[in-house]
Amino acid sequence: MRDTVLIYLSLAVSLMALAISIIGLRYIVRTASPGTVYVDEQTQSAKGGNRWAQFNLWNAYQNAAHNVGKNQAKADQWLNQFVQGIYVVRFEPANGFHPRNAADYLNSIRNHTPQAHSADNGPGIASFFRTRKQGDKLVASFLSEQPDELQRCIESNPDLRFTSAEAINAQLFIEYEKSPQETL
């Protein structure tokens, strides 16, 4: 009888400890900082193949965004993953097309090659559009995971002429990302 009482008492104490642990875990989960929650969500998405999540993590650690503390080592890690397989694809106006600003280019691209756009889970065919003055004309570029497809899009657009595609690294990405849209 005494052994049975001790077994039940031990079981009751164990159940109480388990309940307290569960309550404590729920409290910790609910009180996690917004930055921690953001990093956890983006990390899971990045591990699932979402390239935008890699970019978001780089941005958060690089710029202390989304309540995430600045951490250069983690920023570098995520940026190096993000830029793998990314190309800068450059092009210029052709056949009398004289864009004066980014909107002129984008309108032509939308009209002739609407498939040239970013993907839901990464840069896709065309992301990070930039324009730059070169002499008396405005040249343009996109970052792309599919440079051959973007080249086909550009070559099918009578207003554009493909000029180059080159792989981009982390440093080139940072310079590109910071570059302003230029106009004539």
- Express each pLDDT in 2-19 by its tens digit: 666 556 556 555 656 555
Give dist(CA 22, CA 94) in Å, integer: 66
Write the DSSP symbol of residue 178: H
Asked whether residue 47 carries a pLDDT value surpassing 80, the answer given is yes
Q: Give the Cα separation of 152 and 184 in Å (integer).
A: 27
CB atoms within 10 A of CB 173: 20
The pTM (predicted TM-score) of the whole model is 0.79
Count of CA atoms in the C-beta half-sphere (13 A) of 10: 6
Chain mean pLDDT for the chain: 88
pLDDT, position 34: 75
- Cβ atoms of 78 and 87 within 8 Å: the answer is no
Between CA 109 and CA 159 the distance in angstroms is 9
pLDDT at 72: 95
Mean pLDDT of 108-129: 93
Sheet-wide strand order for 127-134? 127-134, 137-144, 87-93, 160-167
